[in-house]
């Protein structure tokens, strides 16, 4: 990616400078553009044990789902398996290339997503689009190499944008698992604490989950955890860390994870 194009996306992300942490002392701020090249990241932590990163078989087999895209979309659209069906406007299946090497998973739809039936379409969605463009990806890309598939842990909006409850996650898990099987991504990125905890079946805080690579499902798909765009809008000081994560995503995909 050339410097001018990268600068455009960094500006869109609101990233101006980075701070390097020394041994207990903050280093002087330096221009981010000088450090934001897609250099290879430090060696990744070993993949976490698979048994800690995917649900028990009973949870994933709550109900059968179609094995094709059209059937799966229809099943989600007509789903009545949890109480979220009573308050939704639209189900939010997902969007992107069906063979994308990158799959991004959030926690659940918000008000804008519930109204439009597409994930990440509000302010957080616009920021996510800029983040993905910064590493050469787009939900509208026609070529798999530039594409991404975006989905959520639950397909219906939890009332009041509350966290999805365990029974709701369990009811939707077969749909998400089938999406992962159909897309066959090289890498999954979990956005935010709730998505990461529900996906990886853990109560660990985001500060502990961010960093290592995990495995998900029988295919042992690598999973990386990063911040949710909505959190970055509330806490812009964390955007530099998010950019570090994006560079790592870029390198993992280039290496074929």
pLDDT in tens, 207-252: 999 999 999 999 999 999 999 999 999 999 999 999 999 999 999 9
Residue 205 within any structural domain of the chain: yes
Residue 17 within any structural domain of the chain:
no
Q: How far, in Å, CA of 128 to CA of 6, rounded? A: 15
Does residue 151 belong to any structural domain of this protein? Answer: yes
Give residue-wise pLDDT tens across range 34-76. Answer: 233 333 333 334 455 433 444 433 444 458 899 999 999 999 9
Q: Which residues contact residue 134 at a Cβ distance below 8 angstroms, ignoring those fewer than 6 apart?
A: 6, 9, 10, 12, 13, 243, 246
Decide if 135 is inside a domain: yes
Residue 130 CB partners (closer than 8 Å, separation 6+): 9, 12, 13
Domain count, the chain: 1
pLDDT at 119 over 50: yes
- Is residue 99 over pLDDT 90? yes
Q: How far apart are CA 71 and CA 178, in angstroms?
A: 11
Range of the domain at 139: 65-254
Q: How do residues 139-182 score in pLDDT, each as one tens digit?
A: 999 999 999 999 999 999 999 999 999 999 999 999 999 999 99
CATH number of 155's domain: 3.40.470.10
């Amino acid at each position: 990616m050339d410097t001018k194009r990268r600068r455009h996306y960094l500006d869109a992300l609101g990233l101006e400078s980075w701070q390097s942490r020394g041994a207990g002392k903050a280093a002087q701020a330096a221009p981010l553009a000088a450090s934001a090249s897609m250099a290879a990241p430090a060696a990744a932590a070993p993949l976490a044990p698979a048994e800690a990163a995917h649900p028990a078989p009973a949870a994933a087999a709550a109900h059968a789902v179609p094995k094709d895209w059209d059937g799966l979309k229809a099943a989600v659209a007509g789903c009545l398996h949890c109480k979220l069906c009573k308050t939704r406007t639209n189900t939010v299946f997902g969007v992107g290339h069906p063979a994308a090497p990158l799959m991004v998973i959030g926690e659940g739809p918000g008000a804008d997503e519930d109204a439009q039936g597409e994930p990440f379409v509000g302010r957080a969605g616009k920021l996510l689009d800029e983040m993905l463009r910064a590493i050469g990806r787009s939900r509208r890309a026609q070529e798999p190499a530039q594409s991404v598939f975006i989905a959520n842990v639950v397909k219906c909006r939890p009332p009041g944008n509350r966290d999805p409850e365990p029974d709701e996650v369990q009811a939707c898990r077969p749909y998400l698992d089938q999406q992962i099987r159909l897309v066959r991504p090289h890498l999954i990125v979990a956005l935010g604490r709730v998505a990461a905890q529900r996906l990886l079946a853990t109560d660990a805080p985001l500060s502990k989950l961010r960093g290592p690579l995990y495995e998900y499902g029988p295919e042992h798909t690598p999973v990386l955890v990063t911040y949710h765009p909505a959190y970055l809008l509330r806490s812009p000081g964390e955007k530099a860390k998010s950019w570090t994560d994006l560079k790592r995503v870029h390198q993992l995909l280039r290496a074929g994870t």
